[in-house]
């Protein structure tokens, strides 16, 4: 019996929480380097295991049947989803996982409030205020993430969907949340009002992401990730749970930084992003009329590449969609055999999330030393003979309104492209009409295969 | 625990979060987002905490859904991050 009492001692449980959040911090610390990152993630998972076990030890935590049911459902959905998702669909997956986290927070706040009412009164303010905050942010995060998922999965149109006076509608919805929350906090006991808050926040979550164009979606997912972290921290304040407070706030802080870094990389202010509209198309295209592009063939591309001394590969989302990363690696190896120096120039938002392209290329066994960041490789592009742009568009587009990989400064530019459509951002690309640019039309993978064959035959 | 102690912890955690994160290279941004995403799955604890005292079908149902959501967030988050990071292994 002594052991049971000891295990259920609140101080022992709190000590386990301290171990858990220390492990989370070590996890994030180890994420600083590709070599230690994986270990970091395992350590984070161990921390999470400890936090869950510690909570199960709490005396008032009973109902093991229902707990097992919930965890079983979550595991049955989570594991197959995580195992089967393609690397290209990773941003959507992160959005979905983030959404359910926010949803959990909103539900927890609602149940907590209902429980308090069942006992007979509003909770104390120091629990009630964070509870209301958690409900609002959690609900926004849940619905916003679902919309972000819908847009990236192309269930919803990627272009911005905007109502007239959108900003005022959003402000109105936020006001509804704040006013209802204030009424509850000042003493009114009303489940209906709480529900109204959740609904208004849900509509706000939808309204807030719908007007944002597909190109800005990574920033939005990152922001919603930070939101969910903050809502978890708020829920922790309401529940007096240190593990929730620390872990939630760690995510809130890191997510905010990541959001700013991403916005900065795209040269877009957060205010601009949330005003919406980017990625809508229809803005350019007009001045491209009358200009012509130069198309080329695989044999020509092969010759240019094989006799270059330096080649920069600029991968984009199109490469990912065509699953061409392995073929590109083969081509790079073949070129390296001939003494060509091949580097990969990675735009911070190549793919649809920062680092997305690194993951895809790492999957294809490209050593990470070869993956060069934009600021690092841009000055070298003037000494590069050929830039091979594969399925990228916005990240090399001088008109995209963000810092780009400046392929225009290299000796020649070869662009592998499916068609003359504009990119995800919907803006025409003047680079295509430059004299040192040649386009090779077709599926990225097939094109690279053809070029590879030609190189091997040389 | 009193509110001020909790707020102290909150603020310190924020600074730790800023410090630890601002050093992560671009290369690891997507796995990082995914890792932090898994960590906020800790809201799962809230569901565990509330389901014991919860009474009535609706409260219990909402708790089970919250636990299931939290579990998806945790399990899916860590697994997906691991899948991404697996690819960064060193090659000779």
What pLDDT does A265 receive?
A: 65
- Give the tens place of pLDDT for each residue, A182-228: 999 998 899 999 999 999 999 999 998 988 877 778 889 999 999 99
Range in A188-192, A371-375, A430-434, B16-20 with the lowest mean pLDDT: A430-434
Size of interface A-B (CB pairs under 8 A): 358
Between A280 and A164, where is the model more confident?
A164
pLDDT for A279 beyond 70 = no
Put simply, the answer to whether B30 touches A356 (Cβ < 8 Å) is: yes
Using alpha carbons, select from A329, A399, A340 the residue that is nearest to residue A364.
Answer: A329
What pLDDT does A282 receive?
A: 33
Q: Once rounded to an integer, what is the mean pLDDT over residues B19-47?
A: 85
Range in A14-28, A155-169, A189-203, B60-74 with the lowest mean pLDDT: A155-169
Q: Which residues from A are below 8 Å from B16, CB to CB?
A: 25, 250, 253
Q: Once rounded to an integer, what is the mean pLDDT over residues A157-174?
A: 83
Q: Indicate the domain borders of chain A.
A: 1-84, 102-280, 286-457
pLDDT for A277 beyond 60 = no
What pLDDT does B86 receive?
A: 82
Put simply, the answer to whether A358 touches B22 (Cβ < 8 Å) is: no
What pLDDT does A287 receive?
A: 38
Put simply, the answer to whether B30 touches A105 (Cβ < 8 Å) is: no
What pLDDT does A285 receive?
A: 34
Chain B stretch 51-80, residues whose beta carbon is closer than 8 A to a beta carbon of chain A:
51-56, 58-60, 62-80
- Closest Cα in chain A, distance from residue B78 (Å): 6
pLDDT for A312 beyond 80 = yes
Chain B stretch 24-53, residues whose beta carbon is closer than 8 A to a beta carbon of chain A:
24-53
Which residue of the set A330, A394, A428, A443 is catalytic? A394
- Closest Cα in chain B, distance from residue A311 (Å): 20
* Paired tokens of A157: 């149109």
For B32, the closest chain A residue by CA position comes to A31
pLDDT for B77 beyond 70 = yes
Grade residue B36 by pLDDT with cuts at 50, 70 and 90: very high
Question: From the list B51, B67, B81, which residue is nearest A74 (CB)?
Answer: B67
Using alpha carbons, select from A349, A346, A348 the residue that is nearest to residue A369.
Answer: A346
Predicted complex ipTM exceeds 0.90: yes
The answer to whether the pTM exceeds 0.80 is no
Grade residue B41 by pLDDT with cuts at 50, 70 and 90: very high
- Give the tens place of pLDDT for each residue, B46-69: 999 999 888 889 999 999 999 999
- Closest Cα in chain B, distance from residue A212 (Å): 20
Range in A23-37, A253-267, B8-22 with the lowest mean pLDDT: A253-267
Range in A135-139, A170-174, A324-328, A353-357 with the lowest mean pLDDT: A353-357
Q: Which residues from B are below 8 Å from A74, CB to CB?
A: 67-72, 74-75
pLDDT for A146 beyond 60 = yes
- Give the tens place of pLDDT for each residue, A24-56: 999 999 988 878 889 999 999 999 999 999 999
Q: Which residues from A are below 8 Å from B4, CB to CB?
A: none
pLDDT for A166 beyond 90 = no
What pLDDT does A408 receive?
A: 86
Q: What percent of chain A has pLDDT over 90?
A: 46
Q: What percent of chain A has pLDDT over 70?
A: 93
Range in A35-44, A71-80, A161-170, A245-254 with the lowest mean pLDDT: A161-170
Q: A173 φ, ψ to 5°?
A: -65, -40
Range in A22-31, A68-77, A170-179, A413-422 with the lowest mean pLDDT: A413-422
What pLDDT does A113 receive?
A: 95
- Give the tens place of pLDDT for each residue, A376-428: 899 988 889 899 999 888 888 888 778 889 888 888 899 988 776 655 555 67
What pLDDT does B14 receive?
A: 95
Average pLDDT, chain A: 86
- Closest Cα in chain A, distance from residue B55 (Å): 8
Q: Once rounded to an integer, what is the mean pLDDT over residues A165-188?
A: 91
pLDDT for A176 beyond 60 = yes
Range in A159-168, A242-251, A266-275 with the lowest mean pLDDT: A266-275
Grade residue A278 by pLDDT with cuts at 50, 70 and 90: very low
Q: Which residues from A are below 8 Å from B31, CB to CB?
A: 31, 37, 41, 355, 359
Put simply, the answer to whether A254 touches B1 (Cβ < 8 Å) is: no
What pLDDT does A273 receive?
A: 76
What pLDDT does A260 receive?
A: 84
pLDDT for B26 beyond 50 = yes
Put simply, the answer to whether A41 touches B85 (Cβ < 8 Å) is: yes
- Closest Cα in chain A, distance from residue B89 (Å): 7
Q: Which residues from A are below 8 Å from B24, CB to CB?
A: 31-32
User: For A286-457, which CATH class?
Assistant: alpha beta
Query: Is A394 in the active site?
Result: yes
Q: Which residues from A are below 8 Å from B73, CB to CB?
A: 78, 97-98, 100-101, 104
């Amino acid at each position: 019996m002594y052991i049971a009492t000891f295990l259920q001692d609140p101080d022992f449980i709190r000590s386990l929480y301290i171990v858990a959040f220390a492990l989370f911090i070590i996890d994030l610390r180890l994420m600083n380097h590709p070599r230690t990152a994986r270990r970091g993630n395992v350590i984070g998972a161990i921390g999470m295991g400890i936090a869950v076990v510690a909570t199960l030890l709490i005396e008032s935590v009973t109902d093991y049947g229902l707990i097992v049911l919930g965890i079983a459902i979550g595991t049955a959905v989570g594991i197959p989803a995580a195992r089967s998702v393609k690397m290209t669909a990773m941003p959507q997956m992160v959005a979905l996982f983030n959404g359910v986290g926010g949803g959990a927070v909103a539900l927890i706040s609602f149940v907590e409030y209902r429980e308090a009412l069942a006992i007979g009164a509003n909770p104390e303010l120091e629990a009630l205020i964070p509870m209301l905050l958690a409900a609002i942010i959690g609900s926004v995060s849940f619905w916003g993430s679902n919309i972000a998922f819908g847009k990236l999965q192309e269930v919803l149109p990627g272009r911005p969907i905007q109502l007239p006076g959108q900003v005022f509608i959003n402000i109105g919805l936020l006001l509804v949340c704040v006013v209802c929350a204030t009424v509850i906090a000042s003493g009114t006991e009303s489940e209906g009002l709480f529900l109204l808050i959740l609904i208004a926040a849900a509509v706000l979550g939808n309204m807030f992401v719908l007007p944002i164009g597909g190109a800005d979606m990574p920033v939005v997912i990152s922001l919603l990730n930070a939101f969910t972290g903050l809502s978890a921290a708020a829920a922790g304040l309401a529940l007096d749970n240190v593990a929730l407070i620390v872990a939630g706030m760690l995510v809130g802080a890191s997510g905010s930084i990541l959001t700013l870094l991403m916005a900065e990389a795209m040269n877009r202010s957060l205010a601009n992003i949330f005003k919406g509209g980017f990625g809508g198309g229809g803005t350019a295209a007009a001045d491209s009329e009358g200009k012509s592009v130069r198309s080329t063939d695989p044999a020509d591309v092969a010759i240019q590449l094989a006799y270059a001394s330096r080649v920069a590969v600029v991968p984009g989302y199109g490469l990912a969609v065509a699953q061409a990363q392995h073929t590109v690696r083969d081509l790079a190896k073949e070129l390296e055999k001939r003494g060509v120096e091949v580097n990969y120039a990675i735009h911070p938002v190549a793919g649809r999330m920062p680092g997305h392209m690194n993951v895809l290329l790492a999957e294809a066994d490209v050593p990470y030393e070869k993956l060069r960041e934009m600021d690092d490789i841009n000055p070298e592009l003037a000494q590069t003979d050929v830039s091979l742009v594969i399925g990228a568009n916005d990240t090399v587009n001088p008109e995209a309104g963000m810092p780009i990989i400046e392929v225009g400064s290299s000796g020649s530019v070869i662009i592998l492209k499916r068609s003359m459509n504009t990119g995800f951002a919907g803006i025409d690309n003047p680079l295509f009409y430059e004299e040192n640019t040649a386009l090779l039309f077709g599926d990225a993978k097939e094109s690279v295969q053809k070029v590879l064959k030609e190189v091997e035959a040389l | 625990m009193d509110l001020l102690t909790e707020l102290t912890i909150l603020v310190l955690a924020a600074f730790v979060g800023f410090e630890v994160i601002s050093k992560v290279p671009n290369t690891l941004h997507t796995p990082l987002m995914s890792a932090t995403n898994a960590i906020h799955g800790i809201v799962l604890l809230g569901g565990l905490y509330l389901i014991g005292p919860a009474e009535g079908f609706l409260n219990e149902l909402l708790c089970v859904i919250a636990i299931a959501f939290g579990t998806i967030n945790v399990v899916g988050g860590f697994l997906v991050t691991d899948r991404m990071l697996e690819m960064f292994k060193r090659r000779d």
